[in-house]
Amino acid sequence: MYNCRMPTQEEIYKNEGDKYEALIAREDHQGNILKALREITPLEGRIVLDLGAGTGRLAGLLAQYVTRIHAFDISDEMLRVCREKFLASGLINWQVDLADHRKLPVADQSADLVVSGWSVSYLAVWNPNTWREELGNWMNEMKRVLKPGGFIVLFESLGTGNNAPIRLDHLRDFYPWLEEMEFQNKWIRTDYKFESLAEAEELSRFFFGDELGNKVVQNNWIILPECTGVWWLRI
């Protein structure tokens, strides 16, 4: 029998870089991510680390403004696409490397800003029995690599396909942990804008699953609403 099982997000990160990039390239068509970052800290003159960089969603956005961007991920496939995008851009102020969030190959107090989009939460999601320890190790690493007064800025989902923010059940441990660590927060819209309804259905179904894919079709969503939380902390 033909197997039409949808790939898991872990499988997508390992094997589907180009299609994932096709989706992510449609996100935040109003440019609210950059606006949010600039409201938190200046970008010019900054040395920036992007953790869980994927195909370079944040790194590519920031590279044209910052002094240097160093992008990390644990997926060769994601970084392949990220590297290709940087090479095509003509920019030279970047570096792309494999690394775990909790053990970065950078010197102590060498960065001004750490950004991470939709990634640090996986330390909790993928480690249900040790999530608090894993997040604690990550926070210690942030304190090591950031200069005094440096910022951590995290982006995480508050609902794709929603016009108002909701807290997702699989992140039920992560949200309160951020509050416990005294991160400030706000939310923004990061809506996807697709070329057609067919593209919107295909790409949303590919990554988010059939429930959202069906919702896209039912609502004729060429613009797919998305709410995103922004959490930041000064070290």
Q: Find the CATH number of the domain harbouring 180.
A: 3.40.50.150
Q: Evaluate whether residue 173 is within a structural domain.
A: yes
Predicted confidence (pLDDT) per residue in 51-67, tens digit: 999 999 999 999 999 99
Q: Pull the structure tokens for residue 146.
A: 């950031």
Give a three-class secondary structure readout of the chain. Answer: CCCCCCCCHHHHHHHCHHHHHHHHCCCCCCCHHHHHHHHHCCCCCCEEEEECCCCCHHHHHHHCCCCEEEEEECCHHHHHHHHHHHHHHCCCCEEEEECECCECCCCCCCEEEEEEECCCCHHHHCCCCCHHHHHHHHHHHHHHHEEEEEEEEEEEEEEECCCCCCCCHHHCCHHHHHHHCCCEEEEEECCEECCCHHHHHHHHHHHHCHHHHHHHHHHCCCEECEEEEEEEEEC
Instruction: Count how many domains the chain has.
Output: 1
Q: Evaluate whether residue 59 is within a structural domain.
A: yes
Q: Evaluate whether residue 4 is within a structural domain.
A: no
Q: Evaluate whether residue 166 is within a structural domain.
A: yes
**Which domain, by its residues, includes 171?**
9-234
Q: Evaluate whether residue 68 is within a structural domain.
A: yes
CA distance 81 to 98: 13
In the prediction, which pLDDT does 17 show?
83
Q: Evaluate whether residue 62 is within a structural domain.
A: yes
Locus of tokens 């992140």: 171
Predicted confidence (pLDDT) per residue in 128-171, tens digit: 999 999 999 999 999 999 999 999 999 999 999 999 999 999 99
Q: Evaluate whether residue 199 is within a structural domain.
A: yes
pLDDT above 90 covers what percent of the chain? 93
Is residue 4 predicted with pLDDT exceeding 90?
Answer: no
What's the whole-model pTM score? Answer: 0.94
